[in-house]
Amino acid sequence: ASQDELKKQVGYKAVDDYVRSGMVVGLGTGSTAFFAVERVGQKLKSGELQDVVAIPTSVRTKEQAEALGIPLVTLDTHSRLDVAIDGADSVDPDGNLVKGGGGALFREKIVEKASDKFVVIVDQSKMCDALGPHFMLPIEILPFCHEHTMRCLEALPSMNGAKAVLRMGSSANNKCDGDEIAVSDNGCYLVDMKCTSPITDAVRLADDIIKVVGVVEHGLFCGMTDHVIIAGTDGIEVKDV
Ligand code: DER
């Protein structure tokens, strides 16, 4: 099956297995979460799901959900969600994640922290023995001034001599080498920390990163995952973390 087909399988399965009528659902961001959003819209339209409301984790997910007629709410009226469904860039054996490849990590973490259940949907290529080398660690920083940005890049703990680099591109979710600095939905810059070796203590690293003045949030999602649905060439596996 194509990678898109694998993403569709896990996106649909997450909704079929974990979303029930009447629920408040967190809608993730990225090409895999796209299919979960699509499935919610489909089942609301068919009547298989009723009275579901959703909270999107990015402007582009909000736009997709609106186009599908999914009723959207905010944490102001729905402070807890029943379930959030989202993709990830890397998943380690304990279900710790690197997220943020799509530049949506800040709102994703807010919504997913407020959810009673967090379901991660990935194709097999995202699974790894340890976070780090497989995918750069995204970090969102306040765009105060050039000097501050440079100081953040210097202050962020480098691993094995690796450094954080400013994400360039016309928008946060496309990491092309555009000539302008990518800006997140929150008006912040994104930096990507190249990890040349495995992250041995994700919780410790998360603490070190968040202490750097000007860091808004980072893409390490530790101890948040409840289930991982993994699509591989030989079928779908559900891992309860
Ligand atoms: O930006 C994010 O955190 C997304 O969830 C992303 O990293 C996963 O996107 P993908 O499903 O398009 O690989």
Q: How far is the CA of 175 from the centre of ligand 1 (A)?
A: 12
Residue 190 tokens, joined: 């994104």
Question: Residue 173's pLDDT band (boundaries 50, 70, 90)?
Answer: low
Reported pTM: 0.95
Q: Tell me the C-alpha to C-alpha distance, in Å, between residue 112 and each of 54, 130, 175, 197.
A: 12, 22, 24, 27
Q: How far apart are CA 195 and CA 205, in angstroms?
A: 12
User: Which numbered atom of ligand 1 lies nearest the CA of 105?
Assistant: 3
The pLDDT score that the predictor gives to residue 105 is: 98
Query: Predicted ipTM?
Result: 0.97
Is there a contact between 106 and 186 (Cβ–Cβ < 8 Å)?
Answer: yes
Please state the rounded mean pLDDT for residues 186-205: 92
The pLDDT score that the predictor gives to residue 134 is: 86
Phi, psi of 131 (to 5 degrees): -70, 155
- CA-derived radius of gyration, the chain: 17
The pLDDT score that the predictor gives to residue 47 is: 98
Per-residue pLDDT tens digits for 98-137: 999 999 999 999 999 999 999 999 999 999 999 988 899 9
Asked if residue 178 has pLDDT above 80, the reply is no
Q: Which residues line ligand 1 (CB under 6 A)?
A: 28-33, 86-89, 99-102, 104-105, 108
Asked if residue 143 has pLDDT above 80, the reply is yes
Residue 75 tokens, joined: 């944490």
Residue 217 among the catalytic residues = no
